[in-house]
Amino acid sequence: MNKDAPAAKLLSALFEKLYPNDENLPKRILLVSAHFESDSNGFEISNAALPKMIFDYYGFDDEAYDIDYPAKGDPEFAQRVKEQLEKNKIKAKLVNRGFDHGIFVPMSLIRPQAGIPIVTMSTNLYLGNKAHFNLGKALEPFRDEDTLILCSGQSTHNLRALHSRSPVLIEGARAFQSWLDETLSSESKLTVKERREELIHWQDEPASRFAHPTPDHFMPFLVAAGAGMEEKQPGAKAFFGGWTIGHMSFANYAWGI
């Protein structure tokens, strides 16, 4: 990623927004990546102590394969996550897996020091929207244990139309972004339940077909919403990182700040 791009600058400044002057830093990060997909009947949690890099892309310059993000894992916490999910009747298993580019690319910008342990979690496209929201809800208690829950996807992600500059596509993606902003706004009159239903049925929004022809990059967002939305404060704070190629948004959202 171009470090001078608006999205890169936003990520580089994110920790300062969340933890000014590095005060009260989290003990660990629990990170759900759109590029870590389980094909089992549940979710997967990496218990790797020293995660290696997974270069799950091709066709880039050599420097794209020289990246190393040396953060440690936390096997003991991974086991606790598994137990917490099973307690909530969510199937889960431990696997030894490294960091894919949905992890090391943003984290290299967010926290280049790599001094905070990271436990990664999968999505599971076979389980649907509600299951991912409920996954986030089950993870919510870890927020009270100095755990930062990060979910790496994208608010609009249409790779099928990567090189398209169609006005219809661009308008559709931006309409979806507007719908998402309105649904999450702290000024919205929507209750937690109403927001939840809106998000779980996001594919009913007409513009969703322009923003996400496949659901993979929106699933982590549902996990984040499940973990972050509270009865007293259901709205999220938006950090907008601009657009690329007209229709791919780099908006970010945070709860609890």
For residue 29, give the 3-state DSSP assignment: strand
Report d(CA 231, CA 126) in Å as an integer.
Answer: 29
Is residue 83 within 8 Å of residue 89, measured between CB atoms?
Answer: no
The tens digit of pLDDT for each residue in 189-238 reads 899 999 999 999 999 999 999 999 999 999 999 999 999 999 888 999 99
Residue-wise pLDDT tens digits, 100-153 = 999 999 999 999 999 999 999 999 999 999 999 999 999 999 999 999 999 999
> Taking the domains of the chain in order of start, what are their residue ranges?
6-254
Supply the pTM of this predicted model.
0.94
Q: What is the DSSP string of 194-256?
A: HHHHHHHTGGGSTTHHHH-SSSTTTHHHHHHHHHH--SS----EEEEEEEETTTEEEEEEES-
Pairing of strands 118-123, 28-37: parallel
In the numeric block, the tokens 């972004």 are attached to 177
How far apart (Å, rounded) are the C-alpha atoms in residues 34 and 217? 5
Fold observed for domain 6-254: Protocatechuate 4,5-dioxygenase; Chain B (3.40.830)
